[in-house]
Amino acid sequence: MKEYTRIYPTKTTRYILLYIGIGVIAFSFLLSSGLFSDFLASSFKKIESGILYIASYHLNIFNTYPAARRTFIFQETGYTELFNRGLVPIAFFNLILNGMLNILFQPLMLCIFTPQVILNFILFPFFLYGVFVHFRRIPIMIFFFLAYGIYIGISDSVLEALIRHRMPCDMIYLSIGIAGMLRWFERYGIR
C-alpha cells in the first residue's frame, strides 16, 4: 500500500490566503452595498467639476490676455464639446495627453527654451526605456512626475508660467532619461 505524505501550507501561504479571503469579502461587500459605486460617482463628479473649472479658467485667460503665448488642453471645438456634453472618456483621454504634451514639449515655437525642448525630444525614448527598466527602484518619482506633470500641463494656460512651474518635473524627466540612455548604451555596447 502506498503512503501519502500530507503537505502543510507554510505560515506565509496561510497569511496570503487569509488576506485574499478578507479582500474578496470586503470587495464583495463594497460592490453589493453600493458604497463603491457611490464613491466612484462622487469622485467622478469632483474630477469633472475640477476639469470644467480649469477649462473655464483657460478660456478666461484667453479672453483676458489675447497676446499671451498660450498652451491648449483642447482644440477650439473641444471646449464647446466639453461644456455641452460633459466629460466623456475621449475628452478625458485627450485632456491627459495634451497635459503631458504641454509639460514635455512646450514651447513649440522658437524661443530661448528651444534647446531644452530639443533635448526633451531626444531623451523621450530613453525616458520611456528608463521608466520600464528602473520602475521597481523609483516608482514614487515616476508617479510624482506623471501626476504633477499632468496637473501642471493642464492647469497652466500661459506658456511662461508653465515653463516656471515645470522645473521639478524637468529634473525628474532628465534624470530618468539620462539614466535610461546610459543603461541603453551599456546594454548594447555603445561607448
Query: pLDDT digits over 80-122, tens only?
Result: 666 676 667 777 777 778 778 878 777 766 776 778 778 888 8
Read off the pLDDT band of 51 (50, 70, 90): confident
Q: Which amino acid is at 78?
A: G
Instruction: Supply the pLDDT for residue 114.
Output: 74
Q: Stretch 148-162: mean pLDDT, rounded?
A: 78
Read off the pLDDT band of 74 (50, 70, 90): low
Instruction: Supply the pLDDT for residue 179.
Output: 83
Cβ distance 156 to 99 under 8 Å?
A: no
Instruction: Supply the pLDDT for residue 72.
Output: 65
Quote the CA–CA distance of 137 and 165 in Å, as a whole number: 26
Quote the CA–CA distance of 182 and 189 in Å, as a whole number: 10
- In residues, how long is the chain? 191
Instruction: Supply the pLDDT for residue 80.
Output: 65
- Lookup result for grid cell 505524505: 5
